[in-house]
């Protein structure tokens, strides 16, 4: 067998190694500078955090001694069920509508340039509004309760799934679209047979992921009065009943963990 050093006897000199791009260095430096500046301006200090946590503090005491009984109380259980319902309904409505909405932003799914621009702008605005802001808006206009939470999750899901689905649509194979059009298919028939099969697994996985997000979001939404488990957490916080609060949080943690595991497994099988 011939060794490479017999074929190439002289140790070759590599061309000079390119220096890391100035842009990369500048970006890293800027990121570090930004972190330091912001930390100073919010008076960040490790010492203070540790001091606060180790001082005698009813919140931390509650954490060490959670009230597991809270898990079985009827009112907490129904608050939980409400949270799950919110997450399911919000996902089902928002993510379902996201599919046509994503299709309408593409050139092949919507031949009308003006409608396309309108739908795209709507999506961009929708995406810019965080879920908590939606919830506050609806609590203010519709009132405290689950309906506000549902509306908030609907818009949040619409934004998330539309965005993810649009990105997938950008990368699909245009060949089948051409074939369907050449066979005289109308727009809905073309989309159903040439486009949807290409994105269906990805879309299903986005819906599941959206459900995970909604489950977590639905807990926070309650804090501003939009129903579900968050409302109950907020109730105990107001009373200063930290044992009960932590019991509830632990239970929520377990539910989220289990749902997330299930969802991740399912999603892995999809794609």
Partner 1 sequence: MIRFEQACVTYPNGVVGMKDLDLTIDDGEFVVIVGLSGAGKSTLIRAINGLVPLTSGRLDVNGRDVTKLNRSGLRELRSGIGMIFQGFNLVDRTTVLKNVLMGRLHEVPTWRTLIGRYPAADIDLAARALQRVEILEKAYSRASDLSGGQRQRVGIARALAQEPAIILADEPVASLDPPTSHVVMRYLQQISRELGITTIVNLHFLDLATAYADRIIGLRDGVLVFDGPGSDADEQVFESIYGRSLTADDTMTKHAAL
In the complex, the residues that contact partner 1 under the rule CB under 8 A are 173, 175-176, 178-186, 188-190, 192-194, 197-198, 200-201
Q: Tell me the C-alpha distance between 179 and 188, whole Å.
A: 14
CB of 3 to partner 1, least distance (A): 33
Distance separating alpha carbons of residues 24 and 258, to the nearest angstrom: 40
Q: How far is the CB of 271 from partner 1 (least distance, A)?
A: 11
Nearer to partner 1 (CB atom), residue 207 or residue 251: 207
In the chain, where do the E strands start and end?
none
- Based on CB atoms, which residue is closest to partner 1, 71 or 187? 187
Question: With respect to partner 1, which residue has the nearer C-beta, 167 or 173?
Answer: 173
* Minimum separation from the CB atom of position 151 to partner 1 (A): 28
Structure tokens at 89: 């309904």
For residue 236, the minimal CB distance to partner 1 (Å) is 48
Counting every residue written for the chain, the total comes to: 271
CB-wise, 78 or 112, nearer to partner 1? 112
Cα→Cα distances 181→41, 177, 185, 191, 192, Å: 59, 6, 5, 10, 12
Which residue, 69 or 197, is less far from partner 1 as judged by CB? 197
CB of 109 to partner 1, least distance (A): 14
Counting beta carbons within 10 angstroms of the beta carbon of residue 85, is it exposed (0 to 12), middle (13 to 18) or buried (19 or more)? middle
Query: How far is residue 81's CA from residue 73's CA, in Å, rounded to a whole number?
Result: 12
């Amino acid at each position: 067998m011939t060794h490479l050093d017999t074929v190439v006897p002289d140790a070759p000199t590599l061309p000079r190694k390119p220096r890391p791009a100035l842009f990369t260095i500048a970006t890293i430096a800027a990121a570090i500078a930004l972190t330091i500046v912001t930390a100073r301006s919010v008076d960040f200090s490790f010492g203070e955090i540790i001091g606060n946590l180790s001082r005698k503090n009813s919140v931390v005491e509650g954490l060490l001694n959670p009230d597991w009984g809270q898990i079985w109380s009827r009112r907490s259980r129904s608050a939980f069920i409400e949270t799950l319902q919110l997450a399911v309904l919000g996902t089902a409505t928002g993510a379902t509508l996201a599919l046509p909405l994503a299709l309408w932003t593409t050139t092949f799914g919507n031949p009308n340039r003006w409608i396309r621009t309108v739908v795209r702008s709507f999506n961009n605005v929708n995406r810019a509004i965080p879920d908590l802001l939606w919830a506050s808006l609806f609590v203010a206009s519709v009132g405290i309760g689950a309906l506000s939470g549902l509306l908030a999750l609907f818009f949040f899901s619409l934004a998330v799934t539309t965005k993810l689905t649009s990105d997938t649509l950008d990368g699909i194979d245009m060949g089948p679209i051409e074939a369907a059009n050449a066979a005289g298919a109308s727009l809905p028939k073309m989309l159903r047979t040439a486009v949807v099969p290409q994105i269906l697994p990805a879309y299903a996985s986005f819906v599941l992921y959206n459900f995970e997000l909604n489950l977590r979001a639905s807990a926070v939404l309650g804090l501003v009065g939009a129903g579900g488990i968050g409302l109950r957490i907020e109730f105990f916080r107001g009373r200063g009943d930290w044992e009960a609060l932590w019991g509830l949080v632990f239970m929520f943690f377990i539910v989220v963990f289990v749902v997330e595991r299930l969802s991740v497994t399912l999603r892995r099988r999809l794609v």
